[in-house]
Amino acid sequence: MNPGTFFWLNMPGTKDGMNMMHITRTLNLTEWWLCNTTYELEPGVFTFAPKILPIGPLLNTNNATARSLGKFHEEDLSCMSWLDQQPHCSVTYVAFGSISLFDQNQFNELALALDLANGPFLWVVRQDNKMAYPYEFQGQKGKIVGWAPQQKVLSHPAIACFFSHCGWNSTIEGLSSGVPFLCWPYFADQIYNKTYICDELKVGLGLNSNESGFVSRLEIRNKLDQLLSDENIRSRSLKLKEELMNNKGLSSDNLNKFVKWLKE
């Protein structure tokens, strides 16, 4: 166990476990713990905390052209037609959620790493991004959008891997789509999620940083090449997708029990 992955050590403004202790005590007062996960995905969690009821994976089932529900940013649906034009299993999808931000030097390095990559990329750069693209950046192999219909993107046959911050919603969507992960966590549970993806599920790779936390373009390019060439990781990703999507009955039962309890 690496204590550096503890949730409360990776939240801005918190350096101890008091907040987590408060949350745990509050949870113990509740009748229901509903969680977007499955028994198959995290069996150890349910052994330790049997009160948790999984109701996942919670996924959007809208059609391919409709706007995703519950999204705060306007989605650029043009990325779907762009994906239709790309070779099967060739595109790196790059998205770091609605909160993660880079400084200018790290943003530059990421952009130049995508230029160095062998295949095309779809990169989500939020509209609130204040960074300027480096003058060397070509971007000719990729498409950049302000926001994407993520679940639809991940399920597209052109997607080869998910370059992610490992937020839990993104993690669930990526695992349910059977795509390998290149992990770059930012804070909170993302760091633990990365460890689980790479070391427990073995469906992704993490990036190494220097002493100051900086990740180089060569590190990104090399890990991406390694991930895309690893057929074992891809095979495990597809197998896990099959398990998640074929064993949703218990989650559905749990949700139905909760709805029945609400009505009573």
Is the entire prediction scored with pTM above 0.85?
yes
Residue 119's pLDDT is: 93
In terms of domains, do 109 and 234 share one? Answer: yes
In terms of domains, do 165 and 220 share one? Answer: yes
In terms of domains, do 97 and 226 share one? Answer: yes
User: Tens digits of per-residue pLDDT, 27-62?
Assistant: 778 888 899 999 889 888 888 888 888 999 998 765
Asked if residue 122 lies in contact with residue 94, where contact means CB atoms within 8 angstroms, the answer is yes
In terms of domains, do 115 and 30 share one? Answer: no
In terms of domains, do 41 and 87 share one? Answer: no
Which residues make beta-bridge pairs with 93? 122, 162
Which position has the higher pLDDT, 20 or 64? 20
In terms of domains, do 165 and 214 share one? Answer: yes
In terms of domains, do 159 and 43 share one? Answer: no
The candidate with the shortest Cα–Cα distance to 92, out of 167, 181, 209, is 181
Is 65 within a domain?
A: no
In terms of domains, do 139 and 172 share one? Answer: yes
Distance of alpha carbon 102 from its chain centroid, rounded? 17
In terms of domains, do 112 and 208 share one? Answer: yes
Asked if residue 27 lies in contact with residue 18, where contact means CB atoms within 8 angstroms, the answer is no
Is 166 within a domain?
A: yes
Q: What whole-number distance in Å separates Cα of residue 93 and Cα of residue 171?
A: 13
Among the residue ranges 14-18, 94-98, 184-188, 239-243, the one predicted with the least confidence is: 14-18
User: Tens digits of per-residue pLDDT, 141-166?
Assistant: 999 999 999 999 999 999 999 999 99
Residue 12's pLDDT is: 67
In terms of domains, do 124 and 50 share one? Answer: no
Q: What whole-number distance in Å separates Cα of residue 220 and Cα of residue 78?
A: 27
Q: The tokens of 127 are what?
A: 């509209």
Q: The tokens of 61 are what?
A: 């089932």
Is 250 within a domain?
A: no
Domain residue limits at 39: 16-57
Residues 6+ apart with CB under 8 A from 69: 60, 62
In terms of domains, do 47 and 97 share one? Answer: no
Q: What whole-number distance in Å separates Cα of residue 56 and Cα of residue 112?
A: 37
Instruction: Please give the tally of structural domains in the chain.
Output: 2
Residue 60's pLDDT is: 77
